Structure 1
Amino acid sequence: MSDARARLIPHRRWVIKIGSSLVTAQGRGLDHAAIADWSAQIAALVEQGIEVVLVSSGAVAEGMARLGLSRRPELLHQLQATAAVGQMGLVRAWEHAFQGHGLKAAQILMTHEDVANRQRYLNARGTFLQLLEYGVVPVVNENDTVAIDEIRLGDNDTLGALTVNLIEADLLVILTDQAGLFEADPRLQPDARLIHEADLADARLVGMAGGSKGTLGRGGMKTKLNAAQIAARSGAATVIAHGRAPSALLQIARGAEIGTLLKPAQTPMAARKRWIAGQLQVRGTLHLDAGAARVLSANDGRSLLPVGVTAVEGGFDRGDLVRCLAPDGVEVARGLVNYDADEARRILGARGHEVMTRLGYAGEPELVHRDNLVVVQH
C-alpha cells in the first residue's frame, strides 16, 4: 500500500459518482443487481463511520429504456421529458436498495443556479450536512427536467466535484466503465498503461485523458480529470475506478491499489473562493496588460485595479463573474466584478484618483477585489 493510498483510509466524507453506462447496463434499463451491490458497499462504508453522498447518473438513459428510444434525444423538450420519466425509476431503485440495509435516502436535484446563487449555495450546503447528520444518503442528480444550457452544470462528474466543494468532502470517487486513467485511450491503444497515482499538477494528464465515445453520458476522461481538479480546490483527492470491479468501493476504503488516484497539488481554497471558482457561467472578459497579468499570476493576494486593464468584452452587471486574460489570451484569474461593463470601460487604465473623475461618483478602487478573485491554476 502506498503512502498516498494509506492516507485515504481515515477519510470520513465521500462523494461517489456512478455513470450512466454502469447504472443502466449500457442503456438496457436500470441494472438493479449492480445498484444492489453498490448499495451494500455504501452501507458497509456507512457502518465504518464514512458519510456518503451519491451522485447517480442514469435518468435520461433509464427514460430512454422506458420509452423504447434507441438514440439519445437531441431536442431540449424531448431530452427533458425523457429525464422526467427516467428519474422516477432511478430514485425508486436507489431508495429500495438502501432500504434493504436499513438506510434512508433523499433525492436532491440541482442546476447551476443552485451553485451560482450564494444564498442557494449555502442553503444547499445546510441541507446536505443535515441529511448526513441524520444518517441519510443523499442521492444527487442534475435537474435535467428543467435545466437549459444557461443553467446546466454539464455533466455529473462536474456535479460530483462541486458537491465535494460544497460539503468539504475528503474524497471524490468516480466509478466508470474504465479501469482508471491510462497513458492513452485503451480503446485505441490496447497496450496503454494504467496510471495508478498522479499529481494533478502534472501537465501531461490533460493529454492522456480522452473524450466520451458513448451515447448515454456526457462525460469522458477529460471531464473526470477536470472534476478532480475542481475537487482539489477543497483539498480532496479523487479516485477513478471501474465500477464493476469486485468490491471497488471497499477496496478504495482499505487503501488498495485500484483505479487511478489523483492527488491534490494546491492548498485548499477558502470557502468563498471555492464558491467563486465553481461558477461556470462567465459573463464577460477583462484583458490585462503584462504587468497586471504577472501580479495576479503571482497569487499573493493582490486585487485587480483598473490601471492594469486594457479592454472589456461582454455585457455584465456588477457582481457578475468575469475572466481575466493575459496579453497572450491565457486566463490567469476570474472573479466577481465591482462594476458593470459600461462603467468598467469608462475606467480602463485609470489610477485610483482618476476613478471618481471618470465616473462622477466615488466608486471602489478595485475592479475585482482580492476577496472575490481566484487565480486559475495551470
Structure 2
Amino acid sequence: MTDSARNALREARRVVVKIGTNALTSATGRFNRAHFDALGQDLLWAAGGRELVVVSSGAIALGMERLGLPARPRDIPGKQACAAVGQSRLMQAYEEAFSHAERTVAQVLLTHEDVQERRRYLNVKHALDRLLAAGVVPVINENDTVSVDELKFGDNDTLASLVAGVVEADALVLLSDVEGLYTADPRKDADARLMPAVPRVTSDVLALAGDATSAVGTGGMASKVSAAARAAELG
C-alpha cells in the first residue's frame, strides 16, 4: 500500500479497500502468494483501529488456475464456472491472512440488484453494519456464479464505490498494479507524469484514464476514475 493510501486512511473510521485481480496475480494470471501475503500485512494495518471492508477480485482468475485454463473464458457460463471454483480458494487465502491477527472474515456475495432495489439495499446495509460492529472483516465480491451479463457491475471498482456508499465509508482505496493516474499513457509516452491529486473528475480526466481491461481483470484506470467520481458524489 502506497504512502498516499496510508495517509488517506489515518483519520478514517470506516474504510473500504478494493483489490483488483492484477494485484493478486502474476503476469501469467496465476495467484501470486508472495504478493498476496504482503497485501495481507497492509490489510491488517488498515484494520487496526478501523472498521474494514474488503472488496476483492480474483475468484475467476483462481478458478482459471484450478481448472487449468490457458485464458479467461469469454462466455458467461465459463466465467461463472471459474468463479464457483475460485471463490472458496479466494476466501481461504483471506481467512489465512487475517488469522495472523485473530480477525474473523465473512464472505459476502452481491449482485447488481442487491444495491439497486431498496429493500435488498437495506438488507445488505444492515448485514454489513452488524458484521462491522462485531469486529468482522467482510470480504465482498460480485456474485459471478449467478449473475448474468446485463446484471453485472462490470468491474469491482464500481462495486467498491457502491459499497462505500452503502456502509457510509470515510475512505475508499482502490489498490492496483499501477501507480495511479498519469498525464498520458506511461507505456507509450516517456514524458507521462504521475498526477499526485485530482481535485475533480472532468471529461478531460476521464479521457486521460483511457480504456479498461487486461487479460485477467475487467477494470482498468477508466473504471477507477469513474469509481472515484461516484464515491465523491456519495460524500
TM-score of the superposition, structure 2-length normalised? 0.92
Q: Find the aligned partners of 1:14 and 1:84 in 2 and give their Cα distance.
A: 27
Does residue 11 in structure 1 map to residue 12 in structure 2?
Answer: yes
Aligned residue in 1 for 2:64: 64
Aligned residue in 2 for 1:44: 45
| Map 1:332-343 → 2, pairs under 5 A | none
Q: 1:6 to 1:116 in 2, by over 3 A?
A: closer
Q: Find the aligned partners of 1:178 and 1:212 in 2 and give their Cα distance.
A: 13
The one-letter code sitting in structure 2 at the alignment partner of 1:114 is: D
Following superposition, the deviation at residue 224 of structure 1 comes to 0.6
Which one has the bigger strand percentage? 1
Check the 8 A contact 2:110/2:142 in 1, yes or no.
yes
Q: 1:204 to 1:234 in 2, by over 3 A?
A: same
The one-letter code sitting in structure 1 at the alignment partner of 2:76 is: L
Aligned residue in 1 for 2:31: 30
Q: 1:112 to 1:190 in 2, by over 3 A?
A: same
Q: Which structure's relative contact order is higher, taking Cα pairs within 8 Å and 6+ residues apart?
A: 2
Greater mean alpha carbon deviation, residues 195-204 or residues 90-99 = 195-204
The one-letter code sitting in structure 2 at the alignment partner of 1:19 is: G
Following superposition, the deviation at residue 229 of structure 1 comes to 1.1
| Map 1:221-236 → 2, pairs under 5 A | 221-235=221-235
Deviation beyond 4 Å, 4+ runs, structure 1? 5-8
Check the 8 A contact 2:201/2:229 in 1, yes or no.
no
Q: Find the aligned partners of 2:42 and 2:212 in 1 and give their Cα distance.
A: 27
Following superposition, the deviation at residue 233 of structure 1 comes to 2.1
Greater mean alpha carbon deviation, residues 172-181 or residues 20-29 = 20-29
Q: 1:184 to 1:133 in 2, by over 3 A?
A: same
C-alpha root-mean-square deviation of aligned residues, in Å?
1.6
Identity of aligned pairs, percent? 45
Aligned residue in 1 for 2:126: 126
The one-letter code sitting in structure 1 at the alignment partner of 2:165 is: N
Select the structure of larger CA radius of gyration. Answer: 1
Check the 8 A contact 1:110/1:141 in 2, yes or no.
yes
**Secondary structure in 2 aligned to 1:55?**
strand
Q: Find the aligned partners of 1:123 and 1:163 in 2 and give their Cα distance.
A: 13
Q: Find the aligned partners of 2:90 and 2:9 in 1 and give their Cα distance.
A: 29
Q: Find the aligned partners of 1:6 and 1:138 in 2 and give their Cα distance.
A: 22
Aligned residue in 1 for 2:208: 208
Aligned residue in 2 for 1:290: none
CA distances 1:196-236 after superposition (whole Å, capped 9, x unpaired)? 0111244421121022351111111111111011111221x
Aligned residue in 2 for 1:88: 88
TM-score of the superposition, structure 1-length normalised? 0.58
Q: Find the aligned partners of 2:156 and 2:9 in 1 and give their Cα distance.
A: 23
Which one has the bigger helix percentage? 2
Q: Find the aligned partners of 2:176 and 2:136 in 1 and give their Cα distance.
A: 24
Does residue 147 in structure 1 map to residue 147 in structure 2?
Answer: yes
Q: Find the aligned partners of 1:6 and 1:71 in 2 and give their Cα distance.
A: 37
Aligned residue in 2 for 1:108: 108
Structure 2 gaps of 5+ residues are: 1-5
**Secondary structure in 2 aligned to 1:173?**
strand
Check the 8 A contact 2:9/2:46 in 1, yes or no.
no
Q: Find the aligned partners of 1:105 and 1:205 in 2 and give their Cα distance.
A: 36
Structure 1 gaps of 5+ residues are: 236-378
